[in-house]
A and B are shown apart, each in its own frame.
Chain A
Amino acid sequence: MFSRRDFFKQGLLPVFAGSAVPSVFANGVAAAAADSPSATPSDRVLVLVQLAGGNDGLNTVIPFQDGAYHDARPTLRQDQGVLRLNAQLGLHPNLKGLKASWDAGQLAIVQGVGYPNPNLSHFASMSIWETASVQGGIGDGWLGRYLNYLDQVGESPNHALEGVSAGSLVPPELRSKTPVTALQSLKTFRLQPVSEHGTQVDVENPLMKFYGAFKSAGPAPFGALLDTTLQEALQASHALQATDASYQPKAPYPANSPIASSLKLVAETIVSGLGVRVAHVTLGGFDNHAREKAVHDKLLLDLDQALAAFMQDLQGHGLGDRVLVMTWSEFGRRVKENGSAGTDHGTAAPMFLLGAPVQGGLYGQQPSLTDLDNGNLKFGTDFRSVYASVLQDYLKAPAADLLGGNFEILPLLKA
């Protein structure tokens, strides 16, 4: 491994070496499927939880002693039951699971995270976070670049399940030439059989031929896209079917909670030893311009309960040491609530890092609620500093290369 990494650093390894050639990842799948979880304790998994729509940071990590907070939030302020972190700050009352993790030293909270010249568009700001570039745009995602790096240095099983997302879309932060699988259910991730008079007809091989021919016959880029996607899908489905489907959750996940279902699916993928390295789940609904309180309270409750079950499940499977959860949102919200008992788009907000690998505590500085920029918080910690810390200290990857710059490393993770 070291030597390949060394080659890579000297620019000697061609980019396409070890990339997603089906025969290569077929081997990877077989190897990964053969591994039991305990056989690969060094495989670290990063689970990204996207809080889509712009989470209200001030009502998540609450400066409950700050008079300016109470003045700015006449209807939205949390007066009761704040879960105290220290004399000034507390977690939202519904974040009881996160508070327990905090007490156990397994929750790091980075305060006032943002970036220079904040963009108040959901989509522009999401793109900035996803690409780790303040220009945003359609480039590879920052974790897509990490997956790509794993391929290049030969440190990944190199198949379609090393990056997974729960849902029907591949999120932009996982985007690169390395395949990523959107998963909705492990059981249904397969080509359904076609039968004639009760006898199963082989359609897989003919379809493989059709798509293989379309690679060059079809219009670019779709010909090749469809071909490689079908190959990835069939390889991944074979791996999933070969896996012992014996996963039993070691914690009760809340019912009727999409975020809990997503995290349960991620847990199943990790526990099944499929070689997942990066997983992505989304909890949407944070764009609370009106009547925020009830909606936001429920979202944080769902988030907290789902995360608590997920962490307990992984710990029950003995995998707690190799999973790190990180939350992010495209921005926080305006300090002063609007006239609709909601909040408009804002800037800086806290991030959570959760799990046994974490060095618990507060990082960065809580932004001032009175020294504002057009009504919005001034950020103190660049989000890329958090990314860099995770890449370098947890994933052991070359953070400056992957982020295109040097950012301060925060001691968020245990050595």
Chain B
Amino acid sequence: MEDAPTTTSSTARRPIWQRPVSRRAVLATGATGAAAAALAVLWKGNDLSQILNQVRDLTHGYQGALTSERVRMAHLLRRAGFGATRTELDHYVAMGQTAATEAILNYTKTSNAALESQLPTIDLGSSTPPTAAAIQSWWLQRMTLSARPLEEKMTLFWHGLLTSGLDKAGSAQLFTQNQLFRSMALGNFDELLKAVSKNPAMMVYLDTETNRKGKPNENYARELMELFTTGIGHYTEDDVRESARSFTGWTLQGGKQLRYATASQFVPRLHDAGAKTFMGKTGTFTGDDIVEMLVPLRATAVRLTTRLFGFFAYPNPDPEIVNHLADTFQKTHYNVGAVLREIFTIDAFYSDKAYRSLVKTPAELVAQTLKATGANAKTYTAAAVAMAPMGQVLFYPPNVAGWPGGTSWINSSTLLTRINFANAATQRGQGSLAAQSLGQLSDTLLDANVSPTTRDGLQSFEAAHPDDRTGLLFMVLATPEFQLN
């Protein structure tokens, strides 16, 4: 047996990374210009929410950008959707902010027939499931063209939170799960969780399809609490084990292959109907009972609403904002649409702190680029593949925690890939770029709001290459401003 290690609490020396210039010391000097550069280097790769928490008072060169009505609308469409074409932006601006926000939220009143008629058919009735490429390009086309941007954005949110992936589940299962997320995107969270618990993609991804009476499997039970509801620190290992017993009994339906089944069923003889003790309560719980005990917990409300706000506005909101959103969540029987209405209407959403405070995810970057360049069926297939070296493959999150996001989207490899994608996409563009002036491109894609250097550089490029609209659009899409959302 090795001796137990001893730590150096007795030594006065502190580890290197805590010496001599601490983060706090750097912060105290303020951070503009060169100091801001040092900060970013210091924090590079760290979790975005932690970074922004520490730099919440920092200023940037775009104070007051969101006082412009048009910029506010572009900001809303970037966050609630995947950006906008010039026509879409004009359309929503003409509606006015209040009506536009309501239209975005109440999207079931908006017809999506134009999109649906263009989409390729995904056939689940065939003996072979659709290819991964087929469902990836299908979804990317939806993101790019949907008249209901929030529907697709929330579907992506749920995919990143209630993860399942092609590494275990089949493409037909993930397609079915994607439709489930879409159909319940703004509904009540308890109902969504109950449905997801019985969803074949999830049942394969986190092994509930093998979870049987007398043979409990802890995988789903653990992640349901750690990642989907309360977060770590609110349950014990015994709770994990008892929850696993409660979820027994659901199996995939039909004798098809494991990865093909797209329906599930409850088989009473496979369910452990015995008494379980979960979070201090004892009863003959089912999986639904576990969900009904987890969703009302304040920890769940705080965790989910913090994540929603971080996804749509900026990471690490002040406690007052979280409390307000968590209250809304709990008062509305866990209604996600009600929380989103609050997020899109509180002042913080349009504050300076919110402006360009998120890195465009690969999905956002690609969809907005394709809005700008135009696309055909082949483009969507190629673009879905091109997302992989940016760090995001649809239906294939890196692990059950989803994409880490934030600053992790930006490293030397992914940044080159993002810029090279703009190059390829503009060269293969399908749209009528020739009609777009620099002013129009900048208005639609950059809020006509860039650093003087970028503005001058784009003007110089246009002057030097007056016929090269493709090159000009590339330059616009390659700007640092466009990398942010």
| A211 proximity list for chain B (CB < 8 A) | 480
**Do A405 and B7 have beta carbons less than 8 Å apart?**
yes
| A247 proximity list for chain B (CB < 8 A) | none
**Do B399 and A218 have beta carbons less than 8 Å apart?**
no
With A53-B399, A220-B60, A236-B412: A148-B16 Cβ-Cβ less than 8 Å: yes
**Do A191 and B414 have beta carbons less than 8 Å apart?**
no
A-B residue pairs in contact (CB < 8 Å), sample of 19: A53-B399, A181-B413, A188-B389, A203-B471, A210-B478, A213-B454, A214-B451, A215-B37, A216-B34, A219-B355, A221-B52, A223-B480, A226-B410, A229-B412, A289-B207, A338-B215, A364-B2, A404-B14, A405-B9
B458–chain A nearest beta-carbon distance, Å:
8
**Do B415 and A402 have beta carbons less than 8 Å apart?**
no
Q: Which of B2, B20, B58, B222 contacts A11 (CB under 8 A)? A: B20
Q: Which of B17, B410, B423, B424 contacts A229 (CB under 8 A)? A: B410
- A168 CB within 8 Å of chain B: yes
| A398 proximity list for chain B (CB < 8 A) | 16
| A194 proximity list for chain B (CB < 8 A) | 423, 471, 474
**Do A191 and B419 have beta carbons less than 8 Å apart?**
yes
Q: Quick check: which of B41-49, B91-99, B305-313, B324-332 contacts chain A, the rest being far away?
A: B41-49
| A140 proximity list for chain B (CB < 8 A) | 17
| B19 proximity list for chain A (CB < 8 A) | 11, 15
Of chain A, the residue at the smallest CB distance from B355 is A219
**Do A340 and B15 have beta carbons less than 8 Å apart?**
no
Q: Hey, what's the 0/1 contact readout for A154-190 against B, CB within 8 Å counting as 1?
A: 0000001000000011101011110111111000111
| B460 proximity list for chain A (CB < 8 A) | 206
B445–chain A nearest beta-carbon distance, Å:
14
B397–chain A nearest beta-carbon distance, Å:
11
**Do A285 and B167 have beta carbons less than 8 Å apart?**
yes
Binding site for B on A (CB under 8 A): 11, 14-16, 19-20, 52-53, 120-124, 138-140, 144-145, 148-149, 152, 160, 168-170, 172, 174-177, 179-184, 188-192, 194, 196, 201, 203, 206-207, 209-230, 232-233, 236-237, 284-285, 287, 289-291, 338-342, 344-345, 364-365, 374, 380-382, 384-385, 398, 400-408, 410
Known: A123-B226, A225-B43, A405-B5. 19 other contacts (CB 8 A): A11-B19, A175-B44, A175-B45, A184-B413, A206-B457, A206-B460, A216-B34, A218-B480, A219-B60, A223-B60, A227-B480, A229-B411, A289-B207, A339-B216, A340-B212, A384-B5, A401-B13, A403-B15, A405-B8
**Do B218 and A345 have beta carbons less than 8 Å apart?**
yes
B209–chain A nearest beta-carbon distance, Å:
8
With A196-B471, A219-B356: A289-B401 Cβ-Cβ less than 8 Å: no
**Do A374 and B237 have beta carbons less than 8 Å apart?**
yes
**Do A345 and B222 have beta carbons less than 8 Å apart?**
yes
A270–chain B nearest beta-carbon distance, Å:
18
**Do A339 and B212 have beta carbons less than 8 Å apart?**
yes
Q: Which of A122, A381, A410 contacts B400 (CB under 8 A)? A: A122
**Do A190 and B411 have beta carbons less than 8 Å apart?**
no
| B457 proximity list for chain A (CB < 8 A) | 206, 209-210
**Do A365 and B58 have beta carbons less than 8 Å apart?**
no
Q: Which of B15, B33, B399, B454 contacts A210 (CB under 8 A)? A: B454
Q: State in angstroms the CA–CA spacing of A339 and B270 once bound together.
A: 12
9 tightest CB-CB pairs across the interface, nearest first? A339-B215, A224-B40, A213-B453, A340-B210, A233-B412, A217-B61, A217-B451, A405-B7, A404-B15
Q: Which of B211, B357, B388, B401 contacts A168 (CB under 8 A)? A: B388
| A338 proximity list for chain B (CB < 8 A) | 215-218
B347–chain A nearest beta-carbon distance, Å:
18
**Do A220 and B13 have beta carbons less than 8 Å apart?**
no
Of chain A, the residue at the smallest CB distance from B426 is A194
With A215-B36, A339-B215: A168-B414 Cβ-Cβ less than 8 Å: yes
| B18 proximity list for chain A (CB < 8 A) | 404
| A342 proximity list for chain B (CB < 8 A) | 207, 210, 217
Of chain A, the residue at the smallest CB distance from B209 is A290
Q: Hey, what's the 0/1 contact readout for B442-485 against A, CB within 8 Å counting as 1?
A: 00000000011110010011000101100100110011110110
| B13 proximity list for chain A (CB < 8 A) | 401
| B9 proximity list for chain A (CB < 8 A) | 405
A153–chain B nearest beta-carbon distance, Å:
10
With A226-B415, A342-B207: A214-B481 Cβ-Cβ less than 8 Å: yes
Looking at A14, A194, A398, the one whose CB has the most chain B CB atoms below 10 A away is A194
Looking at B44, B212, B416, the one whose CB has the most chain A CB atoms below 10 A away is B44
Q: State in angstroms the CA–CA spacing of A151 and B457 once bound together.
A: 35
**Do B217 and A145 have beta carbons less than 8 Å apart?**
no
**Do A121 and B222 have beta carbons less than 8 Å apart?**
yes
| A222 proximity list for chain B (CB < 8 A) | 40, 356, 359, 407, 410, 480, 483-484
- B6 CB within 8 Å of chain A: yes
**Do A230 and B415 have beta carbons less than 8 Å apart?**
yes
**Do A145 and B416 have beta carbons less than 8 Å apart?**
no
With A15-B21, A203-B475: A408-B61 Cβ-Cβ less than 8 Å: no
| B6 proximity list for chain A (CB < 8 A) | 405-407
Q: State in angstroms the CA–CA spacing of A29 and B436 once bound together.
A: 41
With A122-B399, A340-B210: A181-B412 Cβ-Cβ less than 8 Å: yes
With A203-B475, A401-B13: A124-B232 Cβ-Cβ less than 8 Å: yes
Number of chain B residues whose Cβ lies closer than 8 Å to a Cβ of chain A:
107
A141–chain B nearest beta-carbon distance, Å:
8
- B420 CB within 8 Å of chain A: yes
| A284 proximity list for chain B (CB < 8 A) | 167, 398-399
**Do B217 and A227 have beta carbons less than 8 Å apart?**
no
Q: State in angstroms the CA–CA spacing of A170 and B44 once bound together.
A: 10
Q: Which of A20, A179, A216, A407 contacts B32 (CB under 8 A)? A: A216
| B417 proximity list for chain A (CB < 8 A) | 168
**Do B399 and A203 have beta carbons less than 8 Å apart?**
no
Looking at B17, B43, B399, B407, the one whose CB has the most chain A CB atoms below 10 A away is B17
- B320 CB within 8 Å of chain A: no
| A14 proximity list for chain B (CB < 8 A) | 20-21
Of chain A, the residue at the smallest CB distance from B48 is A221
With A207-B478, A340-B217: A227-B37 Cβ-Cβ less than 8 Å: yes
Q: State in angstroms the CA–CA spacing of A139 and B23 once bound together.
A: 11
Of chain B, the residue at the smallest CB distance from A207 is B478
Q: Which of B2, B41, B400 contacts A228 (CB under 8 A)? A: B41
Q: State in angstroms the CA–CA spacing of A380 and B2 once bound together.
A: 6
With A52-B399, A216-B33: A225-B412 Cβ-Cβ less than 8 Å: no
Q: State in angstroms the CA–CA spacing of A176 and B37 once bound together.
A: 15
Q: State in angstroms the CA–CA spacing of A253 and B347 once bound together.
A: 57
Q: Which of A170, A192, A219, A227 contacts B62 (CB under 8 A)? A: A219
**Do B218 and A289 have beta carbons less than 8 Å apart?**
yes
- B219 CB within 8 Å of chain A: yes
Q: State in angstroms the CA–CA spacing of A380 and B5 once bound together.
A: 10
- B55 CB within 8 Å of chain A: yes
Q: State in angstroms the CA–CA spacing of A295 and B414 once bound together.
A: 30
Question: Which residues B60-103 have CB closer than 8 A to chain A?
Answer: 60-62
Q: State in angstroms the CA–CA spacing of A55 and B433 once bound together.
A: 52
Q: State in angstroms the CA–CA spacing of A203 and B464 once bound together.
A: 12
| A285 proximity list for chain B (CB < 8 A) | 167
| A215 proximity list for chain B (CB < 8 A) | 33, 36-37
**Do A224 and B20 have beta carbons less than 8 Å apart?**
no
| B451 proximity list for chain A (CB < 8 A) | 210, 213-214, 217-218
| A19 proximity list for chain B (CB < 8 A) | 41
- B114 CB within 8 Å of chain A: no
**Do A169 and B454 have beta carbons less than 8 Å apart?**
no
B49–chain A nearest beta-carbon distance, Å:
9
